[in-house]
Amino acid sequence: MPERGNPLNLKDGELLPVVRCKPCGEGRYRITVSAGTCPIEAIEKLASPISSALQGKFENYAVTQRESDLAFNQVTFTVEDVMTDRSITAQSVKDLCLRDMTKLKVQVGVNIDLTTSGSMLLCGKTRSGKTTGAISLILQILAQGSDGHGSGVTIIDPKRAELSMCNRHVVTLDEDGEARAILNEMKAFAEAMRVRQNYLNVCSQKNGDAVHWWEVGFKPAILFLDEYVALRSIFPKKAAKDDDYCLATFDGLIKRIVTMGASAGSYVLISIAEASVEEGGLPSMLRSAMSTKILFRPTLPEARLLWDSEKLAELNTSRTYLQGDAWFSSTDGEHDLVTYVHFPRLTFPAYRELGRLLDEFYV
């Protein structure tokens, strides 16, 4: 019998499956186990035996992700050093920014690639680090400056809290408590998105092939909706005569930007306490369309509102998660599987810097 047991329950004479291992980044490896004569279900249960078998210089490594191929011929396990702290402590906005304007830094080795992903959904209860995480992404976009082609950064705070207090460019409720100014800003963002797309269409016609937003010098445009559920509850369900101020208009704008904006470099960033699809929560269509999903201080019941249970199988659910800890996925071809990340620690006055960069952006 094998020295470390027989997790596949093989009998004498049965062949071991083919195993391949290759590095996939600093401190990370992918181990692929081909099914062969072994049932795929048995191979899928190898995560724990693999983790416990890693010794010596790999004793701090463990399986963090598991993925079966579509034909169920093999299973790939991602193994990484789970004891290494890859988080970023930023003492200034410069510590956050990458040279590539199409990527947003999350932690060492993890970036959100805006060329292959779309709008972002940030979930988490109060004091989970959700707002600080959103600010860390917005600061990176503001630091790039405007492109002259509608690369606006629109921040909406319906609760008149810290965000709306930090700068006059943050949009909040009207004096009478309505959200008409917010709806107008959303319309302006959608119109700028349309103009950007038209410009790209003209460039594509001249070029004879598709032209992408980053190839013509566009910079990302972001519409950040803080406290989405609170904002949505403000709009009346029905509009008055000759007026479009209602929930349907709000929902229609969000759906349009989320589903069509990425090709023009225009993205929605939604902050929500819980990804519930119940009345007043996040519409299921939006939840599916948001290609980058982040859950701060995650719990398994909350995570199941965002991801299939199978994708959560190898995540550490017994760990005590702190502020800034999150589970993360993005359909960028690199982070499609759910993984653990820690968003940057901002040791500088984040709200003050946000206000300063907003002023510079809109000079």
Same-domain check for residues 217 and 310: yes
In terms of domains, do 76 and 95 share one?
Answer: no
250 shares its domain with 306: yes
pLDDT averages per 10-residue partition of the chain, 363 residues: 68 81 83 83 84 84 81 84 86 94 92 94 92 96 91 91 87 94 96 97 95 96 93 93 94 95 96 73 82 94 88 79 93 85 95 94 87
Residues 150 and 221 in one domain: yes
Angstrom CA distances, 4 to 7, 16, 53, 54, 66, stand at 9, 14, 7, 11, 21
How many other CB atoms are found less than 10 A from the CB of residue 22? 8
Residues 251, 271: Cα–Cα separation, whole Å = 15
Does residue 94 sit in the same domain as residue 54?
Answer: no
Domains of the chain: total? 2
Is 1 contained in some domain? no
Same domain, 190 and 67: no
Cβ pair 196, 265 in contact under 8 A: yes
The per-residue pLDDT for 1 is: 42
Q: Which two tokens stand for residue 138?
A: 């917005």
Q: Which residues contact 42 (CB under 8 A, 6 or more apart)?
A: 7, 8, 9
Segments forming the whole domain that contains residue 75: 19-81
User: Does one domain contain both 317 and 295?
Assistant: yes
Domain boundary among 52, 81, 110: 81
* 122 and 271 co-located in one domain: yes
pLDDT of residue 361: 92
**Is residue 32 located within the same domain as residue 176?**
no
116 and 66 belong to one structural domain: no
Q: Is 23 in the same domain as 139?
A: no
Give the pTM.
0.85
Residue 280: predicted pLDDT:
59
Task: Report if residue 8 sits inside a domain.
Answer: no
**Number of Cβ atoms within 10 Å of the Cβ of 2:** 10
Q: Assess whether 169 and 257 both reside in one domain.
A: yes
The reply to whether 172 falls in a domain is: yes
Q: C-alpha angle with apex 330: 324 to 333, nearest 5 degrees? A: 140
Cα-based distances in Å from 242 to 89, 178, 238, 245: 52, 17, 12, 9
